[in-house]
Amino acid sequence: MQHTIEINGIKVYAHHGCLDEEAKIGGNYIVDVCIKTDFSVAAKTDELSKTVDYVTINAMVKEEMNVRSKLIEHVGQRIVDRIKRDVQGVQTLRVKVIKLCPPINGDVDNVAIIIEG
């Protein structure tokens, strides 16, 4: 059986971007993580150790977002790699990194990247 765990709307203030101003000033980001797994044992036993702990996922996302990257593509890939490496039971993973109010010429709410696999 396959189950889904979603951690949506992880709000982070970080310093990603190609512009020097972005490195100094920073900006607001939102990260969504969707994990396909099998938590049937946890559902029966009520044991946290038998599922993916979303507190751990939240901490990993915040740690990776604190490491500066020029591209949100790069930080997104780091998040994916870290979760796949350090979390047991992940069958498939989807990570979305949203950059709010990007400094581009135009009226844009956000830009986002999505990595699935």
Residue 1 has pLDDT above 80, yes or no: no
Output Rg (C-alpha) for the chain, integer angstroms. Answer: 16
Q: What is the pLDDT of residues 60-99, one digit of tens each?
A: 999 999 999 999 999 999 999 999 999 999 999 999 999 9
Q: What is the pLDDT of residues 19-67, one digit of tens each?
A: 988 889 999 999 999 999 999 999 999 999 999 999 999 999 999 999 9
Q: 3-116 in CATH: which number?
A: 3.30.1130.10
* pTM, rounded to two decimals: 0.95
Active-site entry in 62, 70, 96, 99: 99
Q: Which residues contact 58 (CB under 8 A, 6 or more apart)?
A: 7, 10
- The candidate with the shortest Cα–Cα distance to 66, out of 7, 14, 4, is 14
pLDDT of residue 103: 87
pLDDT of residue 57: 98
Q: Is residue 99 among the annotated active site residues?
A: yes
